[in-house]
Amino acid sequence: MSVNSLKSNPMAGAALSARSEGRRMSLFYLGAMASSFVIAYLPTYVTLAKGPWQSEQEGHGPLIMLAAAWLAWQQRGKFSSVSLKPAPVAGWIILLGSLLLMAVARSQNILMIEVATQIPVLLGCLLLIGGWPLARIFAFPLAFLVFSIPPPGWLMDTFTVPLKAWISDLVTNVLYALGYPIAQNGVMIMIGPYELMVKDACSGMNSIFALSAIGIFYVHEFVDRSWIRRVLLIASIIPITILANFFRVLALVLASYYMGVDRVEGLFHDLTGIALFVFALALFFLLDGVIIAIGYLAGKALRSGGAMKPA
């Protein structure tokens, strides 16, 4: 709309001015709520930094939050085009209910619930500012924060214990078939004069959570709309992580046999954990490359077959 047309139509100019003012006020409220959110959850982040974020299991937590913030920032272009329709009733109910739950969880030292409440708190803020249309824009960044929630110990044990036993059994069978003097009792592996215990970190659960977050982030941001490619990549995360963890345990057992248990503990053990994650990522991206290549060849074959058909 040109300046002359605005002058000739003062009602349109007033509407545009009111809309711009509304946008500025919405941005102001958004900034104020963001600041209030950081202040409210600062004690939570301090607790996470002193505890779970220092562990191998939850060390990826800060990266998850930074990735969610980046995903939200990527949606800023849509903010100017969405029609803001605040939903104060739903917004206040969700916001106040979530803040109350957060306060109770903090007082009872239930960190998982305390961290989880940041998702509905942010949802309530979005509803107050722009309603459900605005909430839909930021739906994926909000959902992505699920990976920042520390899982409860009982849930980890449910999957960690059988996974450790299965990997221990698999490594033992492979090395026994190769002629190594090896035996197993649950998660205890005896090879030569040495005895090793497969720890929780060697179960692969830590890597499954972290690789799942990276995989979903990658699929959402960098994979095209091919649902087959998306499904295959997401479905491959757990098998790839388990495979990489099998090689980690295998390497640790062989290193213990040839170099001794004392040399395997500490730095070498930590380095194998890093190598596991790099290896799993490499397999994930290699699989994506194979899927792309197969899709390209299949499309080329279909085009060639179509060109050979008689008119």
Is residue 258 located within the same domain as residue 237?
Answer: yes
Q: Which of 106, 125, 229, 248 is catalytic?
A: 248
Is residue 48 located within the same domain as residue 105?
Answer: yes
Helix (H, G, I), strand (E, B) or coil at 191: strand
Number of independent structural domains in the chain: 2
Order of strands, sheet of 182-185, starting from the edge strand that comes earlier in the sequence: 182-185, 188-191, 194-197
- Tell me the mean pLDDT per 10 residues along the chain, length 311: 50 50 62 79 91 79 89 81 86 94 93 94 90 91 91 76 87 92 88 82 71 88 85 91 87 86 73 81 92 85 65 47
Is residue 139 located within the same domain as residue 227?
Answer: no
Q: Which of 106, 125, 202, 229 is catalytic?
A: 202
Is residue 138 located within the same domain as residue 192?
Answer: no
**Beta strands, E only, the chain:** 182-185, 188-191, 194-197
Number of H helices, E strands in the chain: 13, 3
Using CA atoms, how far apart are residues 68 and 76, in angstroms rounded to an integer? 13
Is residue 118 located within the same domain as residue 169?
Answer: no
Q: How much of the chain is in helix, strand and coil states, percent to nearest 5?
A: 80, 5, 15
Catalytic-residue membership of 202: yes
Residue-level pLDDT at 2: 46
Is residue 138 located within the same domain as residue 75?
Answer: yes
Q: Which residues pair with 185 in a beta bridge?
A: 188
Closest of 162, 156, 183 to residue 171, by C-alpha: 183
- Domain end call among 148, 179, 207: 148
Q: What would the pLDDT profile of 202-221 be if each residue is shown by its tens digit?
A: 666 777 888 888 889 999 88
DSSP 145: G
Domain carrying residue 108: 3-148
Is residue 118 located within the same domain as residue 254?
Answer: no
Is residue 135 located within the same domain as residue 162?
Answer: no
- Tokens (6 digits) for 53: 């974020």
Is residue 203 located within the same domain as residue 233?
Answer: yes
Is residue 202 located within the same domain as residue 217?
Answer: yes
Count CA atoms closer than 13 A to 155's CA, side-chain side.
8
Is residue 178 located within the same domain as residue 218?
Answer: yes
Using CA atoms, how far apart are residues 182 and 189, in angstroms rounded to an integer? 7
